[in-house]
């Protein structure tokens, strides 16, 4: 350098930030990516404390920006997993042909307008001028967002892809192929035909009327026999091209639209089934009526034909593509019983389903679609963990507890595992709050309630102390990954509790608390790389019991999963939980 002076070059590193949104739809959510890496993602319900929140995800957006250490001014792109222009001609033709009610059309137009005004919503939520938001807004069609959430997060270089749910952008089902950083669409099923609508309508018919209650039908099904499958073939019609259609006489939505509201943010869907369904299947059950064997048999039949349809679609897709890997997303992909049977009932060899396969996952999926598909950026590492939510360190937790005048003990890691496993062995119910909250509907050892799975009275224990939920709903096993072959009939990587497998007959008596009435369990495989603290806890339990499994249920009591130490403490105090673990801090009764 001339004159002997050192020249210091300051080079500013520019990152690409993409903010993803699922808005004005059930399970509203937000995510943030930096250079293709997921920094944060969360459902709005975790902040609002209303299940399936369906408004604008303003609190989730604030959380994501804070986690990324940026403001909205730094965001390059905003993706939203809705495209009002998608299938516009089909929408207009359907509305004209079926004389859709004026109210339904007005509601749809109002929703479309909200989607179009995302910058205005963000400016109000964040207290900035619209002109401060420089990001380019990209509308990504709903099912492409689902497909991207699965394929671009998967370990597969190429795969067949299925997106299957109720409806999004006038489509219920889409099939395609992913290769590298591109997805090609092969076919779709459009409104008013939908297997999601089929399952939801029978969920309502069986008296489960809350948004998202479909899992109750799945839990009830093993108590019945699928005696009505042939009768249901008149409702759900399989087509030779590998797709399907509905017999619309059984439903209201084709002519009346789907009546949705979200008063106070909670989504509600009006009755979808028609009087004709009542003529053919008898009177609909009132939610306060007893569940009869007929109801259980109907649940079993609905579950069985839904599984058959999924296999029908997938087997045709496999034959059409010749591929051995498959990715599935969409609300119907939350059917973990069906998921567990895919590889044994189709010609696929490998299956990937994301942690947030439902609509919340489209926030991230829309961003992945933009980054990989549209911008042509290379894919990054596959996603095998769901830890993208809130987090709190020991010092923050201690400060909070001191402020609340709550007695606690802070322990080392080894002391913690020792105390918690001893409490479990003493019939304890433990709230386990560790690391970052999970993205998706299932607690995976970060916001969990845990119990000894060997207890035959565990279900009664949990329902008496905390959950107060229907007796037919099962509890799930978290198992150390290397022991799956010892306990389950099938061996697979199941990091997101997204598949149900049969438990080996000679092991069912050993873990009765997590063995459902049909001898199955919705497992979560736990590995040290992606879930180290939970892995060590289960390992400590295994050393004392020779059982590498814990019963795991979500840390909540008829509310969204707890998100903060305050919510965890409140849940602990208002229930009969025996121990609360907040990172390395324990509170006992």
Do 203 and 131 sit in the same domain of this protein?
no
Do 443 and 491 sit in the same domain of this protein?
yes
Phi, psi of 450 (to 5 degrees): -125, 150
- pLDDT, position 321: 98
Do 67 and 115 sit in the same domain of this protein?
yes
Q: Please state the rounded mean pLDDT for residues 94-107.
A: 53
* DSSP annotation of 378: P
Do 132 and 189 sit in the same domain of this protein?
no
Domain assignment of residue 304, given as a range: 154-353
Q: Please state the rounded mean pLDDT for residues 280-288.
A: 97
Place of tokens 């696929």: 348
Is 85 a domain residue? Answer: yes
Q: Mean pLDDT for the chain?
A: 93
Q: Are strands 158-168 and 171-179 parallel, antiparallel or unpaired?
A: antiparallel
Radius of gyration of the chain (CA): 24
DSSP string covering 426-476: TT--EEEE-SSPBSSSS--SSEEEEE-TT-TTHHHHHHHHT----TT---E
Phi, psi of 203 (to 5 degrees): -60, -45
* Contact partners, residue 568, CB within 8 Å, separation at least 6: 431, 433, 447, 555, 562, 580, 582
Do 162 and 119 sit in the same domain of this protein?
no
How many Å apart are CA 550 and CA 514, to the nearest integer? 9
Whether residue 95 has pLDDT greater than 60: no
- pLDDT, position 14: 85
Whether residue 4 has pLDDT greater than 50: no
Range in 116-120, 395-399, 570-574 the model is least confident about: 116-120
Do 504 and 474 sit in the same domain of this protein?
yes
Condensed to tens digits (0 to 9), the pLDDT of residues 327-339 reads 999 999 999 999 9
pTM above 0.95, yes or no: no
- pLDDT, position 12: 55
Do 182 and 267 sit in the same domain of this protein?
yes
Is 180 a domain residue? Answer: yes
Do 546 and 578 sit in the same domain of this protein?
yes
As for how many domains the chain has, the answer is: 3
Whether residue 217 has pLDDT greater than 90: yes
Is 387 a domain residue? Answer: no
Phi, psi of 26 (to 5 degrees): -55, 145
Whether residue 283 has pLDDT greater than 50: yes
* DSSP annotation of 369: I
Q: How confident is the model at residue 3 (pLDDT cuts 50, 70, 90)?
A: very low
- pLDDT, position 467: 79
* Contact partners, residue 548, CB within 8 Å, separation at least 6: 479, 480, 483, 538, 539, 541, 542
Confirm if 24 and 111 have CB atoms less than 8 A apart.
Answer: yes
Do 256 and 327 sit in the same domain of this protein?
yes
Whether residue 470 has pLDDT greater than 90: no
Range in 9-18, 93-102, 546-555 the model is least confident about: 93-102
Do 238 and 109 sit in the same domain of this protein?
no
Do 108 and 200 sit in the same domain of this protein?
no
Identify the H or E element spanning 325.
Answer: strand 325-329
Do 212 and 276 sit in the same domain of this protein?
yes
Whether residue 98 has pLDDT greater than 90: no
Q: Please state the rounded mean pLDDT for residues 97-118.
A: 57
Structure tokens at 215: 């899992």
Confirm if 585 and 394 have CB atoms less than 8 A apart.
Answer: yes
Show which of 327, 353, 379 is a domain's final residue: 353
Show which of 142, 172, 201 is a domain's final residue: 142
Q: What is the CATH number of the domain that holds 97?
A: 3.30.420.40
Is 372 a domain residue? Answer: no
Whether residue 92 has pLDDT greater than 90: no
Q: How confident is the model at residue 88 (pLDDT cuts 50, 70, 90)?
A: low
């Amino acid at each position: 350098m001339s004159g002997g002076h050192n020249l210091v070059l300051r080079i500013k590193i520019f990152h690409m930030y993409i903010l993803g949104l699922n808005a004005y739809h059930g399970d509203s959510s937000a995510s943030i990516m930096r250079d293709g890496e997921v920094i944060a993602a969360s459902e709005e319900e975790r902040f609002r404390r209303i299940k399936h929140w369906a408004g604008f995800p303003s609190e989730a957006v604030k959380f994501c920006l804070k986690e990324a250490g940026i403001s909205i001014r730094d965001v390059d792109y905003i993706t939203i997993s809705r495209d009002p222009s998608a299938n516009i001609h089909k929408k207009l033709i359907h509305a004209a042909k079926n004389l859709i009610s004026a109210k339904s059309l007005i509601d749809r137009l109002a929703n479309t307008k909200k989607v179009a005004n995302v910058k205005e919503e963000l400016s109000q939520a964040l207290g900035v001028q619209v002109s401060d938001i420089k990001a380019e807004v990209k509308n990504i069609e709903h099912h492409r967002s689902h497909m991207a959430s699965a394929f671009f997060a998967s370990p597969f270089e190429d795969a067949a892809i299925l997106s299957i749910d109720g409806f999004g952008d006038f489509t219920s089902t889409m099939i395609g192929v992913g290769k590298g950083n591109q997805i090609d669409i092969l076919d779709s099923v459009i409104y008013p035909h939908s297997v999601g609508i089929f399952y939801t309508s029978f969920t309502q018919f069986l008296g489960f009327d809350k948004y998202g209650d479909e899992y109750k039908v799945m839990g009830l099904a093993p108590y019945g026999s699928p005696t009505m499958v042939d009768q249901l073939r008149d409702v759900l019609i399989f087509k030779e091209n590998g797709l399907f259609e509905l017999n619309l006489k059984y439903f209201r939505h084709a002519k009346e639209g789907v009546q949705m509201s979200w008063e106070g943010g909670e989504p509600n869907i009006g009755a979808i089934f028609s009087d004709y369904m009542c003529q053919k299947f008898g009177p609909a059950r009132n939610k306060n009526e007893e569940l009869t064997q007929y109801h259980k048999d109907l649940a079993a039949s609905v579950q069985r034909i839904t599984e058959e349809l999924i296999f029908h679609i997938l087997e045709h897709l496999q034959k059409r593509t010749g591929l051995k890997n498959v990715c599935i997303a969409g609300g119907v992909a939350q059917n973990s019983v069906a998921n567990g049977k895919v590889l044994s009932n189709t010609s696929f060899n490998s299956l990937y389903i994301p942690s947030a396969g439902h609509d919340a996952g489209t926030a991230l999926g829309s961003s992945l679609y933009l980054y990989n598909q549209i911008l042509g950026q290379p894919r990054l590492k596959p996603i095998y963990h769901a830890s993208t939510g809130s987090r709190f360190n020991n010092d923050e937790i201690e400060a909070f507890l001191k402020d609340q005048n709550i007695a606690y003990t802070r322990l080392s890691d080894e002391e913690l595992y020792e105390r918690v496993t001893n409490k479990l062995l003493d019939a304890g119910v433990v709230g386990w709050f560790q690391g970052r909250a999970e993205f998706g509907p299932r607690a995976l050892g970060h916001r969990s309630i845990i119990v000894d799975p060997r207890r035959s009275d565990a279900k009664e224990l949990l329902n008496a102390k905390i959950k107060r939920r229907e007796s037919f709903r099962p509890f799930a096993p978290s198992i150390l990954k290397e022991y799956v072959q010892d306990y389950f009939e099938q061996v697979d990587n199941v990091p997101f509790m997204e598949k149900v497998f049969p438990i080996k007959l000679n092991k069912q008596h050993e873990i009765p608390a997590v063995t459902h009435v049909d001898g199955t369990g919705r497992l979560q495989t736990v590995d040290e790389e992606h879930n180290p603290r939970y892995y060590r806890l289960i390992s400590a339990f295994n050393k004392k019991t020779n059982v590498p499994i814990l019963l795991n249920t979500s840390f909540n009591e008829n509310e969204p999963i707890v998100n903060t130490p305050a919510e965890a403490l409140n849940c602990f105090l208002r229930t009969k939980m025996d121990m609360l673990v907040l990172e390395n801090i324990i509170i006992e009764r």
